[in-house]
Structure 1
Amino acid sequence: MKLTLIAILCLVATLYVSIGSAHHPCFHHPENVSCTDFTYAPVNCTNDLDTLCLNLTNVNYTACSIYKSCQSANASSGVCEPFSILADACQVDHMGNITAKGCKNYDGMCAPGSVVQQCTNMPPISYLITTLNASAEVIDMCNEMDMDDCAKCPFATSSTSVPMPCDVYLVYMRLCASMPTMKQCRPYKFMCDGILPLPKSAIGSVYCPYVTSNTTAVATTTSAPTTTSTSTTGTTSTTGTTSTTSTSSTTSTTGSSPTTSTSTTSTTTATPTTSTTSTTTASPSTTTTTTNHPSTGSISTPHQAVSMFLVLLVLLLLIIQ
């Protein structure tokens, strides 16, 4: 009996904490200065994405395509950060209008006037096309030209007013990757610009297969060795890789018997001067930011107190037993 009571109390504590996270003040008043450092935990974002994308009606939405690709790539940073994917779903595709529960917390904390930094620091993918627009573009492109990827969507029997029952975002990106000059591919060109996050991400090869990141060419100029010649009393001094030849010729004439000293030629090979360029790579400075316990979307303070009380109660029952 006591063990059953303990199990029930533990379950109640867990449920109480979970429910409490949904009532955090920053979901309702994100304009408060105290919400600046509020953070919606990744596990909560993942739960919301599961709520949105495990629904058969939503599984083919753009954000769900990205979510699935990130899971396959085992990636969870950059465009695959759960909060960023949630932004794709709720801010770009407005999936909260379809499944309100999945976007309720995001729409609350990132509402207009919000000061929550997470909403700014983890935005949706730049120039992301909505599911409905991607579907309409695929229908238009496939009716205009027959391409292999068109077979993945029922474009011939679909309306442009509702998304097709297929991964329209992936199909749209693949069609434009093969035919980027088509007029419907302007959003694709923006999304897959080499300097933006998507093509450089872990899922870049899925959606932007032929795009490489822009690189800056660094021109290396090799200068010829500098030769300095100083003429001092028949001596030629060459610095660099040029041999130095010192020739001294003396003719002395005394009286009628000319005395000619032997001409001595001294060839000295100078050691080439090697110019050493010392490149010092500064160690990147590490900035340590100390955040004074930012509030998170997992547990709020009053619920922590209640949970602690329940845990102590469980321990007391164990002692009594």
Structure 2
Amino acid sequence: MRTSLFLAVATALVASVSAHEGHDHGDATPSVCLTNPADASCANYSIPAANITSAITEICTASKFLPGCSLNNACTADKGLNPTYCAPLTVLATLCTAKEDTALTQAVCAKTYSVFCGATSLIPNCKTQVAFPGLPSGKLVTGAVYSVCQEMPGMSDCKICPGPDASGYSQCDEVSAWKGLCLDMPKMTQCPSYNAMCSSTTFAPF
């Protein structure tokens, strides 16, 4: 009787320890892939949505005029838009890979996207959900809009955006102004990048 009781207690203790160890391992996996995405275990890992959306929110709360934020707004407003362009990681990639905008995005991107989607990352979504093709940085869009509106201030879409402030950006929906100007006069010298983007994508808001 005592032997049976001892074996039962021992078995229960082993099961409890095993379950506890398994639980710890499960909790550890996300932190491994978000800090060392080159780890072999990350080949089947999906980045938690909260990590991505919180980074987007932080950037766009401070710099809502950036093209990546316009993309995020369009995708949020219409859930039926092409998921290829509206995946949250695509939005974050668009914000974090725009080199001319790093002064505004680096603080957030350096602790999120640049870590878990770095060059050696094995996380699959980093390779499939890339930046919106052809969408320029906010700095370049601001420059294009400002240049057009200096030449032709009477164009209706020039009313959307004032000139850039001391930061070098216009505090407005830059993409909307850029789109309107280039649709009105697609042969303007400031519009090749817009025309190229539209020829390679089918995304209604842009």
TM-score by length of 2: 0.76
- Give 1 or 2: higher strand fraction: 1
Amino acid at match of 1:135: T
Amino acid at match of 2:91: I
- Within the alignment, does 1:172 sit opposite 2:171 as a pair? no
Contact 1:180–1:189, Cα closer than 8 Å, also in 2: yes
- Within the alignment, does 1:39 sit opposite 2:55 as a pair? no
- Give 1 or 2: higher helix fraction: 2
Q: Secondary structure at the match of 1:54?
A: helix
Q: Deviation of residue 106 (structure 1)?
A: 1.3
Q: Which runs of 5+ in 1 are unaligned?
A: 1-19, 208-321
- Within the alignment, does 1:49 sit opposite 2:56 as a pair? yes
Shift of the 89–179 alpha-carbon distance from structure 1 to 2, 3 Å rule, reads same
Q: Secondary structure at the match of 1:40?
A: coil
Q: How many pairs does the alignment contain? A: 177
Instruction: After TM superposition, list the pairs within 5 Å mapping 1:90-239 onto structure 2.
Output: 90-92=96-98, 97-99=103-105, 100-101=107-108, 104-145=111-152, 146-155=154-163, 158=164, 162-193=168-199, 196-197=200-201, 199=202, 204-207=203-206
Contact 2:100–2:137, Cα closer than 8 Å, also in 1: no
Shift of the 102–80 alpha-carbon distance from structure 1 to 2, 3 Å rule, reads same
Q: Deviation of residue 49 (structure 1)?
A: 1.4
Q: Deviation of residue 171 (structure 1)?
A: 1.0
Contact 1:135–1:168, Cα closer than 8 Å, also in 2: yes
Contact 2:100–2:139, Cα closer than 8 Å, also in 1: no
Amino acid at match of 1:63: G
- Distance in 2 (alpha carbons) for counterparts of 1:27 and 1:97: 23
Moved over 4 A (4+): 20-23, 93-97
Contact 1:62–1:131, Cα closer than 8 Å, also in 2: yes
Contact 1:132–1:161, Cα closer than 8 Å, also in 2: no
Instruction: After TM superposition, list the pairs within 5 Å mapping 1:280-291 onto structure 2.
Output: none
Contact 1:93–1:130, Cα closer than 8 Å, also in 2: yes
Shift of the 69–98 alpha-carbon distance from structure 1 to 2, 3 Å rule, reads same
Q: Deviation of residue 94 (structure 1)?
A: 7.0
Q: Deviation of residue 75 (structure 1)?
A: 4.3
CA offsets, 1:275-302, max 9 Å, x none? xxxxxxxxxxxxxxxxxxxxxxxxxxxx
- Distance in 2 (alpha carbons) for counterparts of 1:38 and 1:94: 30
Q: Percent identity?
A: 25
TM-score by length of 1: 0.50
Q: Deviation of residue 23 (structure 1)?
A: 7.0
Q: Secondary structure at the match of 1:183?
A: coil
Q: Deviation of residue 61 (structure 1)?
A: 0.9
Q: Deviation of residue 96 (structure 1)?
A: 6.1
- Distance in 1 (alpha carbons) for counterparts of 2:137 and 2:101: 10
Structure of higher CA gyration radius? 1
Q: Deviation of residue 97 (structure 1)?
A: 4.3
Q: Secondary structure at the match of 1:177?
A: helix
Contact 2:142–2:174, Cα closer than 8 Å, also in 1: yes
Aligned to 2:95: 89
Contact 1:96–1:103, Cα closer than 8 Å, also in 2: no
- Distance in 2 (alpha carbons) for counterparts of 1:94 and 1:30: 26
- Distance in 2 (alpha carbons) for counterparts of 1:154 and 1:26: 43
- Distance in 2 (alpha carbons) for counterparts of 1:31 and 1:134: 34
CA offsets, 1:147-200, max 9 Å, x none? 100011113xx369711111112211221111111111111111101xx34x2x
Amino acid at match of 1:206: P
- Within the alignment, does 1:69 sit opposite 2:74 as a pair? yes
**Greater mean alpha carbon deviation, residues 110-119 or residues 99-108:** 99-108
Amino acid at match of 1:175: L
